[in-house]
Chains A and B, each alone.
Chain A
Amino acid sequence: MNKVIEFIQQPWPWWVSGPLIAYIMFSLLYFGKGFGLSTNFKTVCNILGADKFSDFFKFDWRDQIWNLVFVTGTIIGGFLAAHYLTPSQVVAISPSTIADLKAIGVANPGASYEPEMFNAENVWSLRSMIFLLAGGFFVGFGTRYANGCTSGHAISGLSNLQKWSLVAVVGFFIGGLTMTHLIMPYLMKL
C-alpha cells in the first residue's frame, strides 16, 4: 500500500493526465452532461440575482446543480492532492523558463505551484490584484464571450473537430502570448 501511495505522490507525466482528462469528459457525456467549467460562473451570477439585470442570466440554475457539485468536488480534489498526495511542492519547469521569469523579476520560479506574489501575505498589492482580480475578470468575461474555456473549447470542441473551437483556441494563444511577452514584463515592475 505504501508503495502505491509513493507511486501516486510523484508528479504525474503529461501522457497520464491527458487521457484521464478525456476519460472525465467521456464519463460526463455518458451521464448526459457536457464538460464545461466556465458555465459555473454564469450559474453563480444567476444565483446572486443577475437575472434581474439581463435576460442572458434567465435560466433555471437547478439544471446546473450537477456542475456545481462537480466543481465542489474539484476543490476537494485540489485539497486532497495538496495535503496528502504531494510531498514536494516543487514544479520542475524548464531551466529556460526559470531564467526568463527571474529576468522579469519573478522570485524563485518553480519552487512551489504558485508564485510568491500570490501568497496571502503578498496579495494585497496593486501588482497581485492585477494578476489575480483583473486576470480573473478577463477569464470570466472572455470565456462567456467565446462561450467556452479550455474544457469546452480546447478539449471538448477540438475532440469533436469543431472549427469554431479552433478559432477560439487561436484566440486563447493570441491573448496568452500577448500578455506573457508584451505586457507582463511591465506589470512585474509595478
Chain B
Amino acid sequence: MKYVRFFIMGILFGIILSKSEVISWFRIQEMFRFQSIHMYGVIGTAVITGILVIQFIKRTKMKDAQGQYIQVVEQEPGYARNLIGGTIFGLGWALTGACPGPLFILLGHQGLVFLIPLAGAVLGTFVYGILRPKLPH
C-alpha cells in the first residue's frame, strides 16, 4: 500500500507532460531549433520553482514523511562523464524526440511502438555497464 502514492504521482506526471506536449517529438525539434519559448518555459519555470523549493528545504532543515532530514543528492563530478554522456544522450533525445520520462509516457499515449526505443534504452544502459571500466569518467 505504501507504493500507492508513487503510482498516483506517476499518473499525474504522465498527464502533466502529455497535456503540456513535452512528450511530442515536434516540441523537441522546435526546442533544438530555438523557434519557441515552450520547452524553455517548461524547463525554466520547473527549475526556478525547484530552486525556491530546495532552498526552502535546506534553510528550514525540512524533514521528510519519515522524520528524516531531506537529502538532495549531489551529482557525480567529472567533465568527461557529464559532457560525453550528456552529448550521447542529446543525440538520442533529438532522434526519439523524448527523454526517459516521456518514453514511458508515450508507451501509454501512443502505444506499443514505443517499446522499441524503451528496449533500445535498456540495451544502451546494459552496454554502458559492460564498457564502463574502459570509458573516461
- Contacting residues, chain B, for A14 (C-beta < 8 A): 20, 37-42, 45
Decide: B46 and A22 in contact? CB cutoff 8 A. Answer: yes
Q: Which of B111-126 contact A (CB under 8 A)?
A: 111-114, 116-126
The answer on a CB contact under 8 Å between B25 and A176 is no
Contacts across chains A and B counted by CB atoms under 8 Å: 501
Please, which residues of chain B bring their CB within 8 A of the CB of A38?
A: 100, 121, 125
* Chain A interface helix/strand/loop/mixed: helix
Please give the distance in Å from B13's CB to the nearest CB on chain A. 5
B82 touches A167 (CB 8 A): yes
Q: How far is the CA of A8 from the CA of B29 in the complex (A)?
A: 25
Interface centre among B41, B89, B92, B110 (most CB of A within 10 A): B89
Residue in B21, B33, B76, B97 whose CB lies within 8 Å of A164: B76
Whether B87 pairs with A175 at a CB distance below 8 angstroms is yes
**Contacting residues, chain B, for A12 (C-beta < 8 A):** 16, 19-20
A146 to B90, CA, bound (A): 11
> Which size class do A's interface residues fall under?
35 or more
Bound-state CA distance A102–B98 (Å) is 20
- A74 near B10: Cβ-Cβ < 8 Å: yes
Q: Which residue of B lies closest to A120 (CB)?
A: B113
Whether A97 contacts B20 in the complex (CB less than 8 A), given A24-B12, A168-B75, A179-B91, comes out as no
How far does the alpha carbon of A144 sit from the alpha carbon of B127 in the complex, in Å? 10
Chain A residue with Cβ nearest B21: A91
CB of A131, distance to nearest CB on chain B (Å): 5
Looking at the assembled complex, report how far the CB atom of A126 sits from the nearest CB atom of chain B, in whole angstroms: 13
Q: Whole-angstrom distance from the CB of A129 to the nearest CB of chain B?
A: 8
B83 A140 Cβ-Cβ under 8 A: no
Q: Which of A56, A132, A162, A183 contacts B117 (CB 8 A)?
A: A132
CA distance A135 to B7 in the complex (A): 27
Query: In this assembly, does A2 line the interface, its C-beta being within 8 Å of a C-beta of chain B?
Result: no
**Residues of B that sit less than 8 Å from A by CB:** 3, 5-33, 35-51, 53-54, 57, 64-66, 68, 70, 72-79, 81-101, 103-114, 116-130, 132, 135
Using a CB–CB cutoff of 8 Å, the interface residues on chain A facing chain B are 8, 11-34, 37-38, 40-42, 44-45, 48, 50, 53-54, 56-57, 65-67, 69-82, 85-86, 91, 93-94, 96-97, 100-101, 109-110, 113-115, 118-120, 123, 129-162, 164-165, 167-181, 183-184, 187
Offer 17 A-B interface pairs, CB within 8 angstroms, sorted by A.
A41-B100, A50-B126, A53-B130, A66-B6, A69-B3, A70-B13, A76-B108, A81-B18, A85-B19, A93-B35, A133-B119, A133-B120, A134-B120, A137-B92, A174-B87, A175-B92, A179-B90
